[in-house]
Amino acid sequence: MKAYQEMNQDELKTLHQQLSKQYQDMKDLHLQLNMARGKPDFSQVELSMPMLDTINSHYDFSKQKDYCNYGILDGIDEAKKFFADMVETTPDQIIVYGNSSLTIMFDQISRGYTHGYLGNTPWCRLDKIKFLCPVPGYDRHFAITEHFGFEMIPIPMDDNGPDMDLVEKYVQEDESVKGIWCVPQYANPSGITYSDEVVERFAHLKPAAKDFRIFWDNAYVVHHLYNDKQSHVKDILKACQDAGHPDMVFEFCSTSKVTFPGAGVAAMATSMNNKKDTLKHMTVQSIGHDKLNQLRHAKYFQNFESLTEHMQKQADLLRPKFEMVIDIFEKELADLQIGTWTKPLGGYFITFEALQDCAKDIVQKCKEAGVILTDAGATFPYGKDPHDSIIRIAPSYPPLEELKQATDLFVLCVKLVSVEKLLEIR
Ligand code: PMP
């Protein structure tokens, strides 16, 4: 098939007629599908059901009576060990929380705002707070910093991570820059993993602000799609320690996409100084998190090997979905020069880059034909994609057959909107 850009006006018009007809036929199917959020489907969640049997009314709590009561604010030892293995650090650097890492991130920002980190001036007393936001990024990160009224500065990314020249410039020259959001492995949504060099450059930052922090959201640290092709981000805590900046990073993770989203366990890894500082506030906030759920997880995943095995089963369910979407893109779009897409090795998303000024229209056309996608622009601060070209595809939730229908419709909408744009331009 000829690239659309090479077609003359008449060819484009004929094509437009054909595509419009196909679109109407698709609309008549009255689809009701959702590819908006990166949720596991039930078959993935089901893998974790046996975990619910690890503790029952016959469980011998004689040596763990405290787990059934208030207290143990930083989490039970078994869970600290579990998360330490997951992010490759030591259990003493871990705080285990409740069910959501996003809540921890919100709390950490909130603490910086109301009380300040390690004796620094609370951000609420300062005129201006800025956060760096590598783009495309996770909409809920941006929602938190927008909620607190911080100015968000988009930072472009390539296959190795954020543009570090720009990060260094902002962090080292501007004292009002207090943080950066990072999803360092299988990033949401681009799927890229930060290179070792990028991690080292992060660790060697010399921030103008004493209370600058890297918000290192390692949500997809064990979420590989393949056994033989895996990415692995370097340990930032150790890199920061070695570079003499041990307090510069908060690392977050959870089992939301390991076991049960909403009913998993979340944790933060950080320096001992930061941990002490955080616990001072947590003491006021809580008398302890759900330690039975922590125990359930630690019992079910006795060691890192059992976690790896479990994640391979998850991958076996997810991989065919990613591959099907990418196959359809290759087959239908590869020659047309109207879009590019990522081929991630892990995580939950594929990023599609359409022609400039097309993303909103594609998402809207999909919606009108019954397929909900993540809003165009959502992966940028304030929902504003300067080129209106990025679309986040979340293939995990719909069953394979529905995903095929949704992808077929998506591809059709990409074609239709691209032709309309090209006709408009000429
Ligand atoms: N961080 C990232 C990058 C995510 O993609 C998600 C889930 N979509 C979360 C955090 C949410 O994690 P949790 O369920 O632990 O709050």
- Whose Cα sits closest to atom 11 in ligand 1? 102
Low-confidence ranges of the chain (pLDDT < 50): none
- Whose Cα sits closest to atom 1 in ligand 1? 219
Give bridge partners of residue 202 from the DSSP assignment: none
- Whose Cα sits closest to atom 5 in ligand 1? 188
Instruction: Assess contact for 256 and 262: CB atoms under 8 A.
Output: yes
- How remote is the CA of residue 25 from the centroid of ligand 1, in Å? 37
- How remote is the CA of residue 101 from the centroid of ligand 1, in Å? 6
- How remote is the CA of residue 151 from the centroid of ligand 1, in Å? 22
Instruction: Assess contact for 379 and 297: CB atoms under 8 A.
Output: no
| Averaged pLDDT score across all residues of the chain | 97
- How remote is the CA of residue 252 from the centroid of ligand 1, in Å? 9
Tell me the two tokens of residue 404. Answer: 């095929």
Q: Tell which atom from ligand 1 comes closest to the C-alpha of 348.
A: 5
Q: How far apart are CA 96 and CA 118, in angstroms?
A: 20
Q: What is the pLDDT of residue 1?
A: 81
Q: What is the pLDDT of residue 216?
A: 98
- How remote is the CA of residue 126 from the centroid of ligand 1, in Å? 29
To test the pocket of ligand 1, the residue of 37, 101, 157 to mutate (highest count of ligand atoms within 8 Å of its CB) is 101
- How remote is the CA of residue 326 from the centroid of ligand 1, in Å? 24
Burial class (CB in 10 A: 0-12, 13-18, 19+), 151: middle
- Range(s) of the chain covered by CATH 3.90.1150.10: 4-44+308-425
Q: Tell which atom from ligand 1 comes closest to the C-alpha of 138.
A: 3
Q: How far apart are CA 235 and CA 366, in angstroms?
A: 40
Using CB distances shorter than 6 Å, the residues near ligand 1 are 38, 100-102, 138, 183, 188, 217, 219, 254, 256, 261, 266
- How remote is the CA of residue 37 from the centroid of ligand 1, in Å? 11
- Whose Cα sits closest to atom 4 in ligand 1? 219
- Whose Cα sits closest to atom 8 in ligand 1? 38
Q: Tell which atom from ligand 1 comes closest to the C-alpha of 262.
A: 14
- How remote is the CA of residue 221 from the centroid of ligand 1, in Å? 12
CATH topology of domain 4-44+308-425: Aspartate Aminotransferase, domain 1 (3.90.1150)
pLDDT digits (tens, 9 = 90+) for 36-73: 889 999 999 999 999 999 999 999 999 999 999 999 99
Query: What single DSSP character describes residue 346?
Result: B
- How remote is the CA of residue 262 from the centroid of ligand 1, in Å? 10
- How remote is the CA of residue 186 from the centroid of ligand 1, in Å? 12
Give bridge partners of residue 4 from the DSSP assignment: none
Q: How far apart are CA 59 and CA 50, in angstroms?
A: 15
Q: What is the pLDDT of residue 123?
A: 98
Q: Tell which atom from ligand 1 comes closest to the C-alpha of 253.
A: 15
- How remote is the CA of residue 168 from the centroid of ligand 1, in Å? 26
Q: Starting from the edge strand earliest in sequence, which strands make up the sheet with 339-341, in order?
A: 339-341, 350-354, 390-393
- How remote is the CA of residue 99 from the centroid of ligand 1, in Å? 11
Q: What is the pLDDT of residue 42?
A: 96
Q: What is the pLDDT of residue 20?
A: 97
What stretches of 270-370 adopt beta strand conformation (E)?
A: 339-341, 350-354
- What is this model's ipTM? 0.99
How far the first Cα of the chain sits from its last, in Å, is 21
DSSP conformation letters of 142-185 = HHHHHHTTPEEEEEEEETTEE-HHHHHHHHHH-TTEEEEEE--S
Pairing status of strand 266-269 against strand 249-254: antiparallel
Q: What is the pLDDT of residue 230?
A: 96
To test the pocket of ligand 1, the residue of 145, 256, 293, 393 to mutate (highest count of ligand atoms within 8 Å of its CB) is 256
- Whose Cα sits closest to atom 6 in ligand 1? 219
Kindly give, in sequence order, each residue whose CB lies less than 8 Å from that of residue 58, ignoring residues fewer than 6 positions away: none
CATH 3.40.640.10 at 64-302, yes or no = yes
Burial class (CB in 10 A: 0-12, 13-18, 19+), 96: buried
**What is the number of other CB atoms lying within 10 angstroms of the CB of residue 27?**
14
Look at the alpha carbons of 177, 379, 353, 424 in this order and tell me if their dihedral is positive or negative: negative
- Whose Cα sits closest to atom 2 in ligand 1? 219
- How remote is the CA of residue 218 from the centroid of ligand 1, in Å? 9
> 117-123 — which CB contacts under 8 Å span 24+ positions?
117/211, 117/213, 117/247, 117/274, 117/277, 118/211, 118/247, 118/273, 118/274, 118/277, 120/210, 120/211, 121/211, 123/148, 123/150, 123/178
Q: How far apart are CA 417 and CA 89, in angstroms?
A: 48
- Range(s) of the chain covered by CATH 3.40.640.10: 64-302
To test the pocket of ligand 1, the residue of 86, 183, 217, 268 to mutate (highest count of ligand atoms within 8 Å of its CB) is 217
